[in-house]
Amino acid sequence: MSTTPPMLDVRHLVKQFPKRGGMFGKREVFTAVDDVSFQVNRGTTLALVGESGSGKSTVGMMLLGLLETTSGDVLYEGRPVIGLRGPERLALRRKLQVVFQDPFASLNARMTVAELVMEGMRVHKMYANDAERRARAQELLGQVGMPAHALDRYPHEFSGGQRQRIAIARALSVEPEFLVLDEPTSALDVSVQSQVLNLLRRLQRERGLTYLFVTHNLAVVDYLADEVCVMEKGKIIERGMVEDVFDHPQHVTTQRLLAAVPKVEM
């Protein structure tokens, strides 16, 4: 038995939203995330899968501090992260980064690629000056397979797959330990999806990154994740190692999800 705590320990996480139009002004709530607990170990990938509305993205948003929790705890390396303020919060935000689904919406169109990749380094006061940051940005772009001349261009000059690489370089710029990947390949063309998946896997191996992979695409889960949690109506209904869950799904919803995935018989 290992005694090291999990990298991320999510305990009894709950998120409720107020519902409109209760009778006589009665406050009704919609429970989007209902008592969710899971752990992610360092250097591994946990996939959260489910249909739209299952609460998987809401969980990701709460971990990143982009959405307040109603109750529950999130421990990062054994220390609580909810309610952190000031420098402690900033320090955590450096370690936890996110790559969103739509690289057309998540990159500011008015910033050059260099500015986009350097922004986080400036916020976190990394490196002595902009010249060093720029050199680092160029290095990062090289690592994600982007040409050096990309630095002084704008996001609209790039294709979807290239933009997703820029978004990944931006997330990596602050030397994170943990990445939330929210449908990172869903908006990409088929021939480019596999490039980005390979990149994510290589970066994990090289840097020991830990991933929380939020997706509805089960075909990709099999390739990228070690463990999987299946969500429905805010609850985790099944969890386990990917090969166990995929080969022997226990819950009827998991069986239904797996059966619905179109397959190429070859």
Partner 1 sequence: MPAVLEIDKLRIGWTDSAGEHVIVDGVSMSIQAGEILGIVGESGSGKTLSMLAVLGLLPAPLTVLGGSIHISGAPVTPATAPGMRGKRAAMVFQDPMTSLNPVFTVGAQIAEAVTLHQGLKGRAAMDAAVDALRKVQVPDPERRAKQYPHELSGGMRQRVMIEMALACKSEVLLADEPTTALDVTVQAQILQLLRQLQQETGMAIAFITHDLAVVAELCDRVVVMYGGKVFESTDVNTLFAQPGHPYTQALLESLPDRAIPGQPLVSIPGQPPTSGQRGSGCPFKSRCRVAINACDAPLPLVQLGTIDKPQLVACHRVSEVA
Contact call for residue 226 and partner 1 (CB under 8 A): no
Task: Give the pairing of strands 71-76 and 45-49.
Answer: unpaired
Q: Of 160, 175, 204, 233, which one interacts with partner 1 (CB under 8 A)?
A: 160
**Site string (238-257) toward partner 1, x via CB under 8 A:** ------------------xx
Task: Give the pairing of strands 45-49 and 178-182.
Answer: unpaired
Buried-state track 127-145, b at ≥16 Cβ within 10 A, e below 16 = beeeeebbebbbebbebbb
The C-alpha R_g of the chain, in whole angstroms, comes to: 19
Closest separation in Å from C-beta 188 to partner 1: 9
Q: How far apart are CA 22 and CA 90, in angstroms?
A: 39
- By beta-carbon proximity to partner 1, the closer residue of 7 and 151 is 151
Contact call for residue 230 and partner 1 (CB under 8 A): no
Tokens of 109: 């169109």
Q: How far is CA 243 from CA 50, 104, 214, in A?
A: 17, 33, 18
Q: Of 97, 138, 195, 210, which one interacts with partner 1 (CB under 8 A)?
A: 195
- By beta-carbon proximity to partner 1, the closer residue of 106 and 162 is 162
Q: Of 42, 201, 235, 251, which one interacts with partner 1 (CB under 8 A)?
A: 201
Piece of 22-30, 119-127, 160-168, 176-184 that binds partner 1 (CB under 8 A): 160-168
Closest separation in Å from C-beta 242 to partner 1: 11
H-helix segments, 75-127: 86-95, 113-123
Contact call for residue 43 and partner 1 (CB under 8 A): no
**Number of residues in contact with partner 1, rule: CB under 8 A?**
33
Q: Of 152, 189, 208, 250, which one interacts with partner 1 (CB under 8 A)?
A: 189
Contact call for residue 149 and partner 1 (CB under 8 A): no
Contact call for residue 23 and partner 1 (CB under 8 A): no
Task: List residues bridging with 76 in a β-sheet.
Answer: 8, 79
CB-CB contact of 51 with 232 (8 Å):
yes
Length of the chain: 266
Binding residues for partner 1 (CB under 8 A): 51-52, 159-162, 189-195, 197-198, 201-202, 216, 218-220, 222-223, 256-257, 259-266
